[in-house]
A and B are shown apart, each in its own frame.
Chain A
């Protein structure tokens, strides 16, 4: 019953470095998404995917890339980290067309860019 698994849990990057945040789910969910959580701003959608090979931008996509080569995995890439990307990142998934039932969230990755 792994659900949505995110790695790493914590990461410190220097400005300009690149890294990939991993997200994997074992529920055969077609829909996956990435959110960032910032104080006083709730959660904001970065990118989402409705199935393998299909991705789209959310409300705050700048500075992030995604790809979806398999149903299970949805990595988030930071090509050149900036201090403004210091945040907590959450991956979420749901069954196709079942967003009204709610999403399953991972436990998050806390990223600090110095």
Chain B
């Protein structure tokens, strides 16, 4: 079945540091890949997505590239801010199961 593996947290960074959150997947079929963000006390918001190999999703300074050869979709940001503190979820959708398959989430804490 489909699965998503993302790095364990929490990740603690100083403001303006470089961020990488690793995400790898296994899927039957040809998935679309997503990063969702959950700010404290809120629901999930779509951060970025990619629908085919080599696509790069980007939003709010975050980027992720769909790498079919390594089945990965790592999230990066060049300079994090305190306001980026949240839980980040990697997810995939194949259409065959009518659902999003999520990773376990990675908590990011950014300090001054």
A66 → B minimal CB distance (Å): 14
Flag B86-112 by CB within 8 Å of A: 1 or 0 each.
Answer: 000100010100111011110000000
A105 touches B44 (CB 8 A): yes
In the complex, B20 has a CB within 8 A of chain A: no
A42 touches B102 (CB 8 A): yes
Beyond A90-B43, A100-B51, A107-B43, whether A43 also contacts B98 by CB under 8 A is no
Flag A26-39 by CB within 8 Å of B: 1 or 0 each.
Answer: 00000101000000
CB-nearest residue of chain B to A97: B95
How many Cβ-Cβ contacts under 8 Å join chain A to chain B?
Answer: 55
A100 touches B32 (CB 8 A): yes
Beyond A42-B89, A43-B89, A101-B49, whether A107 also contacts B98 by CB under 8 A is no
In the complex, B69 has a CB within 8 A of chain A: no
The prevalent SS among residues of B at the interface is strand
Using Cβ atoms and an 8 Å threshold, which residues of chain B touch A101?
32, 49
- B interface residues, tally (CB under 8 Å): 21
Using Cβ atoms and an 8 Å threshold, which residues of chain B touch A50?
98
A24 → B minimal CB distance (Å): 14
Chain B contact residues, CB within 8 Å of chain A: 4, 32, 34, 36, 42-46, 49, 51, 89, 93, 95, 98-100, 102-105
The 6 nearest A-B residue pairs measured at CB? A42-B102, A100-B32, A107-B43, A105-B44, A102-B46, A43-B102
